[in-house]
């Protein structure tokens, strides 16, 4: 049973629900996953998967190849020769990203019986910044952070969250596990221990709550994601250590 009081959400399981859940957690490991840019994936167990940043690592080499290509006239027979390194560089990044997503999704789908992830709309996250017109000076525009947003968009696309989540959904169907997509709103703001909202700026990477809960903000978000995935099962896992022990 889920109840709400002020800004706190708490789950009060019945005795039957609690017993069934304890048996499920012991026999079938569960996990919540929060994808990000600092780390590609943050698991509710406390594990953090490094973000490989394949495009960022190849960006300088790719820029040089594109610069050489731009110097060749469009109708020149040499253009095909200089276009090939650009195509190969993009193909390498694409293959690296696909291989990484395959291996990680395979590992997770074969390790956990229930996986909770955010129902992200990645296309919306990587949209261009909208022009900001100066109302006091028609025809002129104010700074809208387009440069910073462009860099963020590039990092989001480089991470390949959609590819990973789609592959995970496909592999989970073959292993018999269950994938649950949950509402992503406020997952990084809610305390996984007491359910209170602890507002944080994006630059703040540590979750600290008056209730005494202290952990990396992405691990806390992963626990909240798992709690939402398990909301119909009657409890909120309390800590990464508890989840790892299956207690």
Render pLDDT for 16-44 as a digit per residue (tens, 0 to 9).
544 554 555 555 689 999 998 888 999 99
Over the chain, what is the mean pLDDT? 75
Out of 47, 59, 118, 169, the active site residue is 118
Strand 114-118 to 30-35 pairing: parallel
- Asked whether the beta carbons of 22 and 15 are under 8 A apart, the reply is no
Reply yes or no on whether the pLDDT at 134 is more than 60: no
Cα–Cα nearest to 158, from 185, 201, 187, 126: 126
Contacts of 243 (CB under 8 A, 6+ apart): 25, 30, 31, 44, 45, 223, 226, 237
Within 10 angstroms of residue 211's Cβ, the number of other Cβ atoms is: 13
Q: For 88-113, what is the mean pLDDT? A: 91
- Is pLDDT above 90 for 163? no
Q: CA nearest 219: which of 104, 51, 48? A: 48
236: how many CB neighbours lie within 10 A of its CB? 21
* C-alpha–C-alpha distance, residues 4 and 26, integer Å: 28
Catalytic residue check, 218: yes
Please check whether residue 40 is in contact with residue 51, taking contact to mean a CB–CB distance below 8 angstroms.
yes
User: 139 CB contacts (<8 Å, ≥6 apart)?
Assistant: none
More confident residue, 3 or 216: 216
The mean-pLDDT minimum among 109-113, 136-140, 161-165, 234-238 falls in 234-238
Whole-number percent of the chain with pLDDT over 70: 67
Out of 22, 99, 201, 218, the active site residue is: 218
pLDDT at residue 211 greater than cutoff 50? yes
Which residues is 34 bridged to in the sheet?
42
The whole-number pLDDT of residue 111 equals 92
Distance (Å, whole) CA 218 – CA 150:
23
Q: How many CA atoms lie within 13 A of 74 on its CB side?
A: 0
* Least confident range of 55-69, 97-111, 112-126: 112-126
- Region 89-103: mean pLDDT is 90
Domains of the chain: which residue ranges? 2-52+113-245
Q: Which of 14-28, 50-64, 99-113 holds the top average pLDDT?
A: 99-113
Is the torsion defined by CA of 62, 64, 67, 71 positive or negative? negative
Lowest mean pLDDT among 40-44, 83-87, 179-183: 83-87
């Amino acid at each position: 049973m889920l109840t709400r009081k002020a800004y706190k959400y708490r789950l009060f399981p019945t005795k039957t629900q609690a017993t069934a859940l304890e048996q499920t957690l012991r026999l079938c490991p569960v996990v919540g996953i929060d994808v990000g840019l600092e780390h590609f994936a943050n698991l509710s167990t406390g594990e953090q998967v490094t973000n490989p940043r394949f495009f960022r690592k190849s960006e300088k080499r790719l820029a040089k190849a594109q610069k050489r290509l731009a110097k060749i006239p469009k109708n020149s027979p040499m253009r095909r020769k200089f276009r090939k390194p650009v195509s190969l560089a993009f193909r390498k990044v694409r293959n690296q990203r696909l291989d990484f997503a395959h291996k990680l999704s395979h590992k997770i789908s074969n390790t956990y019986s229930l996986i909770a992830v955010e129902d992200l709309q990645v296309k919306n996250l990587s949209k261009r910044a909208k022009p900001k017109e100066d109302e006091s000076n028609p025809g002129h525009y104010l700074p809208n952070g387009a440069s910073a947003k462009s860099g963020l968009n590039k990092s989001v696309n480089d991470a390949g969250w959609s590819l990973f989540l789609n592959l995970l959904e496909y592999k989970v169907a073959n292993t018999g596990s269950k994938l649950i997509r949950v509402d992503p709103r406020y997952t990084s703001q809610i305390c996984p221990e007491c359910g209170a909202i602890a507002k944080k700026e994006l630059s703040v990477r540590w979750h600290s709550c008056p209730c005494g809960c202290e952990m990396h903000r992405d691990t806390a978000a992963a626990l909240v994601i798992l709690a939402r995935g398990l909301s119909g099962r009657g409890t909120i896992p309390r800590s990464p250590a508890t989840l790892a022990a299956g207690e």
